[in-house]
């Protein structure tokens, strides 16, 4: 009985630790720049770079072409008249796009790494940003996603560890794998609802879904690069989006051009941390 008591205490402490992690990849975010409508309006002419401060006090620069494309997507991809997406940029080691919650508002956020790879192509930015924006509008916002990830990590660690202690290590592994499968099915169900809407919103905004094909192409060409362009770090389904995109293109007699969006080795930074 004493062993079980110690195990339960250890599991309880694990719950507290994991609950503080939320989305584990968010621990890789060093700073965040929440872009305001006023900042976009001030730079609407698109002739100068935008100099901004992160919440951590660091200085960053957003390339004028990147800013112009972000603003264009922000204006065109709307859920309903009078509303527009909020945009944030993150100083992160990962090449990713995600949702962040700030002051009870949801922001479509992307790393400066991601912006420096795809920021010159408005169509690709639109594809990435529209998908995230749909998540917000259908109710799968940043807070909901964080809560889901916390429950997943905590449940997996608690169950797999508990089973390993009271049965076998193999049993713990099997329990963890079963929980992974449940999460995979859950994530796929969410993406199946969001993916078609994302493509429809692109079409409504005047974009083709070719951006998904470009992202997939770049990811495959850089699959051996460290951090491997983890665009869909917590949002699986890029293959499904590519499939739906090809179907849409075929049905509408459209083709994709200029898919050779391959960043050079050693990307020259255009947006990001401003050295003092």
Flag the least confident range among 10-14, 106-110, 151-155, 250-254.
10-14
pLDDT digits (tens, 9 = 90+) for 102-117: 999 999 999 998 898 8
Q: Which tokens belong to 247?
A: 């179907």
- Does 231 score more than 70 pLDDT? no
Which of 52, 55, 57 lies closest to 70 in space, CA to CA? 52
pLDDT band at 86 (very low <50, low <70, confident <90, very high): very high
pLDDT of the residue at 188: 76
Which of 156, 152, 133 lies closest to 73 in space, CA to CA? 133
pLDDT digits (tens, 9 = 90+) for 24-55: 456 678 999 999 988 888 776 667 889 999 99
């Amino acid at each position: 009985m004493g062993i079980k008591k110690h195990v339960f205490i250890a599991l309880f402490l694990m719950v507290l630790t994991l609950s503080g992690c939320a989305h584990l990849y968010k621990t890789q975010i060093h700073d965040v720049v929440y872009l305001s409508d006023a900042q976009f309006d001030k730079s609407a002419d698109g002739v100068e770079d935008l100099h901004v401060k992160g919440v951590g006090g660091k200085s960053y620069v957003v390339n004028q072409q990147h800013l112009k494309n972000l603003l264009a997507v922000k204006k065109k991809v709307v859920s309903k008249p009078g509303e527009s997406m909020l945009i944030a940029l993150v100083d992160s080691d990962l090449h990713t796009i995600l949702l962040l919650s700030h002051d009870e508002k949801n922001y479509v956020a992307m790393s400066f790494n991601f912006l420096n790879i795809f920021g010159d192509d408005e169509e690709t930015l639109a594809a990435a940003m529209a998908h995230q924006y749909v998540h917000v509008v259908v109710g799968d916002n940043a807070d909901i996603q964080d809560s889901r990830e916390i429950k997943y990590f905590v449940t997996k660690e608690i169950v797999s560890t508990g089973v390993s202690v009271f049965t076998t290590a193999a049993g713990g592994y099997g329990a963890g794998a079963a929980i992974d499968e449940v999460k995979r099915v859950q994530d796929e169900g969410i993406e199946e609802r969001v993916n078609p809407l994302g493509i429809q919103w692109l079409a409504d905004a005047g974009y083709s879904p070719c951006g998904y094909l470009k992202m997939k192409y770049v990811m495959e060409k850089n699959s051996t690069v460290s951090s491997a362009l983890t665009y869909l770090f917590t949002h699986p389904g890029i293959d499904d989006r590519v499939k739906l995109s090809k179907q849409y293109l075929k049905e509408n007699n459209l083709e994709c051009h200029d898919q050779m969006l391959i960043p050079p080795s050693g990307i020259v930074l255009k947006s990001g941390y401003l050295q003092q």
